[in-house]
Structure 1
Amino acid sequence: MSTSANSNPVQPGTLTGKRALVTGSSRGIGADTVANLAGAGAQVVVNFRNKEARALKLVAAIEADGGSAIAVGADLTDAASVTRLFDTIETELGGLDILVMNASGGMESGMAEDYAMQLNRDAQVTLLKTALPLLSDGARVVFVTSHQAHFIKTVETMPEYVPVALSKRAGEDALRDMIPELAERGIEFVVVSGDMIEGTITATLLERANPGAIGQRKEAAGRLYNVNEFAAEVTLAAVEPVPENNTRYVGDVADFLAAG
């Protein structure tokens, strides 16, 4: 398991009886988040698109540590695949108490021109709407984003990241529009926004497209969170009280805005 017990911000047993899905959780932030939730007692679903071997390895690690986990593959841009995902969850777990919307992308090569918007906006809305019947009263939905996307309307970002940032912000806006409907069902919604995270696929692709970009951002920020540190914040967003404006900011936002 990539997240050690000492780095889990939630105490063991805190989430006993809870059921959680983390999208895009075969590696990176998603993997550490789902491991944290399992370590706190939740039954978890490790979701993957095409990294089944990694997902199964993570499931085995969680089970070896005494946790409960299953791996379920799904292409979030395929509505039928998403339906099968939740059909499996309903069969195996009976419902969900925590949904962490972590999967995102848009910088991959060989994808359609509008792939970022398909994944980061349209697929997120479809995912949440499809999940609604399974979400329990008092359930928590967490949407993971970046400062670069969250503040894209007011702060410029790296040109290579603009399509992703715009699509992530569009997805966030569309999900926020659903807050009244979620509230009627007793479901809470939180956005987690952080600066660029060292060690993620996005950071790697940005560095490849614009060598030195992550180093420059790190120098401007003073420090960047790593995968494990940011996953801890995402985990806390799933259990701590909903913050003002439904937004949990990770790191120094004032510094980010000033630098921008």
Structure 2
Amino acid sequence: MSTLSGKVALVTGASKGIGRAVAERLAADGARVGVHYHRSEAEAKEVVGAIEAAGGQAFPLQAELGVAGDAAALWSEFTRHADGVDILVNNAGAGLLAPIGAIKEDDFDRLLAVNVKSPLFVIQEGLDKLRDGGRIINVSSATTRIAMPNVLAYSMTKGAVNTLTLTLAEALAPRGITVNAIAPGIIATDFNPWLAHPQMRAAAESWSAFGRTGTPADVAGLAGFLASDAASWVSGQVIDVSGASSLGNGPTPKS
């Protein structure tokens, strides 16, 4: 029997990149997966199609996150397809490439709304739908431990996600719900378009002890473990999945 057979999952921002890989991994492990998207309807349906072609179960759902009423809208759409959830993956997020002197207040407010406020209230709104013994997996970032001045604001929001993870793990433990965060490093997705430049990619590869950038599948493997019964004794953790980037004498990335 598949490890997640009979489970229902919701992955936000699942139409591409890490979110897509996580959705496909959870589906491959037996879960029925809600593939959330904002604008990328065609890509979300492609993910659903790929999951179904591989023998899994999935459904798309649309909601804009980071705006008033986003959590209620997301769960309203979700309940059209399922009456409860076992695994919630808060993956949707916004980025900002800017040093301290170039951060604009409106851009920072948008980061906070999408990366911090939205996960908090998506969880709050979903607590009555999340079954006892469930899993919450938040996507953080290795930039909370590696100083990267050009993504300062983004890193700050992910630090808040880490605190959310730690505190909720304590709060939800009586229900048997685990709460963990995964902290990717440089992953080859559309989120990091600068990897298309050979020099920048070579630099990113040099930061990892394994000499390469990560793939969405590298992150999805950890998410699959945390969603499984094998991880029932793991909670309140921020787990690095950066390919051992910037450890020991490795260089500290500057962008």
Same fold (TM over 0.5): yes
Structure 1 counterpart of 2:50, one-letter code: A
Quick one: which of 22, 27, 49 aligns to 1:33?
22
Match of 1:51 among 40, 47, 53: 40
* SS of alignment partner, residue 201 of structure 1: coil
C-alpha contact (below 8 Å) 1:38/1:62 kept by paired residues: yes
Q: Residue 153 of structure 2 corresponds to which residue in structure 1?
A: 163
- SS of 1:189 mapped into structure 2: strand
Residue 81 of structure 1 and its aligned partner are, at CA, apart by 3.2
**Paired amino acid for 1:249:** D
CA displacement at 1:251 relative to structure 2: 4.8
Cα distance change of structure 1 residues 244 and 175 upon mapping to structure 2, 3 Å threshold: closer
Shift of 1:245: 5.0
Aligned 8 A contact 1:46 1:71 in 2: yes
TM-score for both structures, normalised by structure 1: 0.82
C-alpha displacement of 1:258: 4.7
Greater share of residues in helix: 1
Structure 1: runs of 5 or more not aligned: 1-11
Residues 162 and 238 of structure 2 are in contact (CA less than 8 Å); yes or no, is this contact kept in structure 1?
A: no
Unaligned runs of 5+ in 2: 99-103
**What amino acid sits opposite 2:164 in the alignment?**
A
Q: CA RMSD in A?
A: 2.6
Q: Does 1:173 align with 2:163?
A: yes
1:51-84 Cα deviation digits (max 9, x unpaired)? 0111112112222222211100111212423212
State the alpha-carbon separation in 1 of the partners of residues 89 and 7 from structure 2.
Answer: 13
The amino acid that maps onto 1:184 is P
How far did residue 47 of structure 1 move? Answer: 0.4
Q: Which residue of 2 aligns with 1:217?
A: 204
Correspondence 1:216-235 to 2 at 5 A: 216-221=203-208, 222-235=211-224
Distance 1:76 1:41, change over 3 A: same
Secondary structure in 2 matching 1:92 = coil
TM-score, normalised to structure 2's length? Answer: 0.84
Matches within 5 A, 1:114-193: 114-149=109-144, 151=145, 155-157=146-148, 159-193=149-183
Distance 2:195 2:243 in 1: 23
Cα displacement (A) at 1:89: 2.2
Aligned pair count reads: 241
How many Å apart are 1:92 and its aligned residue? Answer: 1.8
* 8 Å Cα contact 2:165/2:180 also seen in 1: no
1:26-71 Cα offsets, whole Å, 9 max, x none, are: 0111111111111121111000010011111211222222221110
Identity %: 28
